[in-house]
A and B are shown apart, each in its own frame.
Chain A
Amino acid sequence: MSSNSNPPLTRKDFTSDQTVRWCPGCGDYAILAAIQGAMPQLGLKKEDIVFISGIGCSSRFPYYMDTYGFHTIHGRAPALATGTKLSNPELDVWVVTGDGDALAIGGNHFIHLLRRNVDLNVLLFNNEIYGLTKGQSSPTSQPGLVTKSTPLGVIDRPFSPGQLAMGAGGTFFARTIDTNPKLMTQIFVESSRHRGTSLIEILQNCVIFNDKVFEDVTQKETQDDHQIHLEHGKPMLFGKDKEKGLILKGFKLEVVTLGENGVEEKDILVHDAHEQDPSLHTLLINMTLPTHPVALGIIRDVEAPTYGDLVKAQKADSQRKAKVKSMQELIESGHTWIV
């Protein structure tokens, strides 16, 4: 039964019959809605889509999608999804994870997934806190944050998911935010097209345990100055009237204003998401307030063989060279003798 002969899929086709159980006001709702909106745009058959999650608030996600779904164990979704994708490359596999799930207990799987470049889409809900276990600090919590497990403030230095991805050889990194459905949808669609591990960091507000953690980025009045939306091939401009931009000075990115100190639009960096060298991508990922805007959009999207491609190539190669074509031939090969 091919979906082609059926009416086109809509958001409703991807909505399961399960009641969504996140806290009212949680950023997860908007992410779910954006995914459900993006799904019909992927041009895929519903039965070929699989959502695999770990443990945490975000990891309830598969229950709400009317696709194939597997809610696994803490931190291990990337490993499990690797097995699923490698052994059935036809599937479009999405990993849903959070900052604790991906970067603490599952940190090892996370970096190795990126290094292998398995063709998966990873939605990393980053709320800089543990929600499901009721409010402990996470690997992305900012220093000084007071939580139940850090009454005197966090003293760990935070991880940056994007920086980790660059360090691990990631081929796709995008950052978006739960308050921007349009950007989310666009990135989800793009990430599905990327061949290799597509890592999407979604800045997500946990209203209960870390409310307004990204307020500085999202506040209506300042968001134009505090965010930069990167688009491949376009100059890195931001601000209400796109009057600000980024230039490279030495090894650092600097914010400049068009028209000031003789700066013209041609001086502004043009975003090249396809550049293999991750240096500039890393600088963009590392930008933080108040000196720089926070970079959103697809920051890196480069081509590289996926792990699945290489598995396939090795198989084809060994099939060409193999003298033994079946198990019976294998067990009868080599040293044998007759009694």
Chain B
Amino acid sequence: MTPTQNKPSATLEKVVIRFAGDSGDGMQFTGSQFAFTSALVGNDLATFPDFPAEIRAPKGTTGGVSGFQIQIGTVEIYTPGDAADVLVAMNPAALKSNLKFVKPGANLIIDIDAFDKRGAKKAGYEGDPLENPKMEAYHIIQAPITSLTKKAVADSGLDTKSQMQCRNMFALGLVYWLFERSVDQTIKELNQKFGKKAPAVAQANTDALMAGYNFGLTVEALPSTYKVPPAKKASGTYRHISGNVATAWGLMAAREKIGNILFYGSYPITPASDILHELSKHKHLDVITLQAEDEIAAVCSAIGASYAGQIGVTASSGPGIALKGEAIGLAMMAELPLVILNVQRGGPSTGLPTKTEQSDLNLAIKGRNGESPIIVLSASTPSQCFEMAYRAVKLAVEHMTPVMLLTDGYLANGSEPWKIPDLGALPPIQQPLAVAKEGETFLPYLRDPEKLSRFMAVPGTPGLEHRIGGLEKQDQTGNVSYDPANHEFMVKIRAEKIARVANYVPEQAIFGPKEGELLVVGWGGTFGALRTAVKELRDEGHNVSLAQFNYLSPLPKNTAEVLGNFKHRLVCELNLGQFANYLREQFPQYTYEQYNKVQGLPFTIQEIKEEILKHV
């Protein structure tokens, strides 16, 4: 919703704000400050950082622009928003690369001091970017951010470079004023961050923040301010959490529940590395992290840890998962627990490392040699990564199998408020430990009659000495066997073991009525856009529901029923139709329509709504 002008204070249901500047301009800090302050006010919100494609692009060029988008609302917020109502552009390059994410009629707050000839040229503009007739579609607020910041911090004693690093606080102050937010939390934060070590820096940033705020108060050229009243949220203690941190914490919570060690073998890769960074901070909570020499060593070391009775986890993104395939097959064959996190990005090959996509579903479900089924899960929102990572460990350990959890770059880096759970209430996790019986030979491939999973014989346990491996095994004894009938039997029992996991996962839920005209089908990280689109259309009176799948292989037991209760099914995903084809294979009795996007970008709510309207 675009703020309307000429009113002293307008109330908005929700609003999207985007901060954009040079990668050195501190846009991520600025955005997260605004997010936290809004959360304290009680807004629901979702954020997404837009990191520059290049690490150290020349200053002022579009390659080095860093952005941060946040949607805040008095209503429930499921995405960071399709397009911004307010854009803060710290230089011409930021304007140039972000205008496509801005709604017509939006407020553009620009640092007019940076919009000189040189700045425009560096950004690749010919002439003055603000003179372009296209710009008439926006309400431009020209704020002399650089010069006023300089003035505000002139007496700080800081060098010019440090002075300039306060510009983002000026911009933040202005945005705080625009949305009637208090500056207190940020001042507190600045003091915590710099107070002891560099009080002058804390003071200068505070001064810049206040200067920005006061600029809003005093300058007439600015529009009215806006109110976004608190959202109605379940009561409790909240915090912000990003998908990658939630994933890491979910694993750690599962470890704590079992009481063993979490071993994380990983090789740096975008966008999964932050999970490694997070886990590496918590060695005191029985986490071992190994930055392995390559992706294969990463997964193999995790399997080695699982073999030792611990929780072996590895993570990567598409290219790395491809490298891990053989080892995942080994864990499947040896029937050992293993959690593989795939933070999907744009593929194929190196693809679009910093962009999001859902094109590794085939790889997850089928990407190994031989008949090698594993459990495949996905997470829907940044905070739900916690629950799904916990579930991944639980299923891997209890069913003695690899589990792949699919998240994506959008979930990994996105963040949202999370109601802090009581960890005591999480379901227990039972390791199916084998027990030595006096006078009996241990049979490593004896199975639980219900789950069909074998029992874990941890090295170090007397009387359970045994050998396992990647060669086909004889039923029960686990001895190497080339017997044709045994091979087929084992292939089938391993498949049946995974199929039976359906008995242990929740039934598929539906948003909206359980039967009707159109069922929108999605999986994983598209939840926010699909949920919002479906809700808005339902509110407008359309007959549409949503089934967002988290359990992909095996599918929940009621899937056929869920799909069958609607006249049409529209499968929306960020690939060319991998889930749609999977459903066709599993439930050929239904027809499926598809909506696909492969641009490295998440769905917008608008495009989903338009697509749905073609089907209802």
Contacts and interface: CB of A to CB of B under 8 A. Distances in A.
Nearest to B459: A68
A69 B444 CA distance: 12
A304 B497 CA distance: 46
Contacts of A67: 465
Interface of B is mostly: mixed
A65 B256 CA distance: 35
Interface in B257-310: 261, 263, 265, 282-286, 288, 290, 292-294, 296-298, 300-310
A45 interface: yes
A335 B239 contact: yes
Q: Which has the most chain A C-beta neighbours within 10 Å: B240, B282, B301, B305?
A: B301
Contacts of A335: 36, 239-240
B300 A108 contact: no
Interface stretch (B124-132, B466-474, B529-537): B466-474
B288 A318 contact: no
A84 B308 contact: yes
Interface string B226-241: 0000000111111110
A69 B283 CA distance: 29
B249 interface: yes
A130 to B, nearest CB: 18
Given A47-B459, A112-B297, A87 B263 contact: yes
B462 A45 contact: yes
Given A90-B460, A335-B36, A80 B303 contact: yes
Interface stretch (A189-197, A234-242, A320-328): A320-328
B252 interface: yes
Nearest to B241: A331
B300 A76 contact: yes
B319 to A, nearest CB: 16
Interface in A16-50: 16, 18, 45-48, 50
A18 B479 contact: yes
A80 B422 CA distance: 35
Interface residues of A, number: 58
A18 B441 CA distance: 14
A263 interface: no
Contacts of B466: 68-69
A70 B286 CA distance: 25
A212 interface: no
B340 interface: no
B288 A79 contact: no
A50 B284 CA distance: 27
A37 B464 CA distance: 22
Contacts of A211: none
A152 interface: no
Contacts of B296: 76, 79, 109
Interface residues of B, number: 69
Contacts of A68: 459, 464-467
Interface stretch (B71-79, B158-166, B326-334, B583-591): B326-334
Nearest to B309: A88
A337 interface: yes
Given A50-B459, A112-B297, A72 B470 contact: yes
Q: Which has the most chain B C-beta neighbours within 10 Å: A69, A83, A109, A325?
A: A83
B480 interface: yes
A83 B282 contact: no
Interface string A304-339: 000000010011001101101111101110111111
Given A16-B467, A90-B460, A339-B236, A72 B420 contact: no
Given A70-B334, A73-B327, A108-B297, A83 B283 contact: no
Contacts of B471: 71
A79 B423 contact: no
A86 B460 contact: no
Contact of B470 (A18, A71, A91, A330): A71
B40 interface: yes
Given A72-B300, A322-B284, A331 B459 contact: no
A324 B249 CA distance: 13
B39 interface: yes
A87 B423 CA distance: 25
Interface in A55-69: 62-63, 65-69
Given A47-B461, A109-B293, A327-B249, A76 B467 contact: no
Contacts of A16: 467
A42 to B, nearest CB: 15
Given A47-B465, A81-B304, A90-B460, A339 B235 contact: yes
Contact of B297 (A70, A79, A336, A338): A79
Contact of A82 (B39, B238, B240, B301): B301
Contacts of B233: 339
Contact of A318 (B284, B308, B459): B284
Q: Which has the most chain B C-beta neighbours within 10 Å: A88, A311, A315?
A: A88
B467 A69 contact: yes
Contact of A327 (B256, B326, B470): B256
A88 B459 CA distance: 9
Given A67-B465, A331-B420, A82 B304 contact: yes
A52 interface: yes
A338 B420 CA distance: 10
A108 B294 contact: yes
B288 A328 contact: no
Contacts of B237: 332, 336-339
A45 B463 CA distance: 11
Closest 6 CB pairs of A and B: A83-B304, A71-B469, A83-B301, A79-B297, A79-B300, A69-B467
Given A79-B298, A315-B286, A327-B253, 10 more contacts: A68-B467, A69-B467, A70-B469, A79-B304, A82-B301, A83-B304, A84-B305, A327-B249, A331-B421, A336-B239
14 contacts: A45-B462, A46-B462, A47-B462, A76-B296, A79-B300, A80-B307, A82-B304, A83-B307, A87-B305, A87-B308, A315-B286, A328-B424, A339-B233, A339-B419
Interface of A: 1, 3, 16, 18, 45-48, 50, 52, 62-63, 65-73, 76, 79-88, 90-91, 108-109, 112, 311, 314-315, 318-319, 321-322, 324-328, 330-332, 334-339
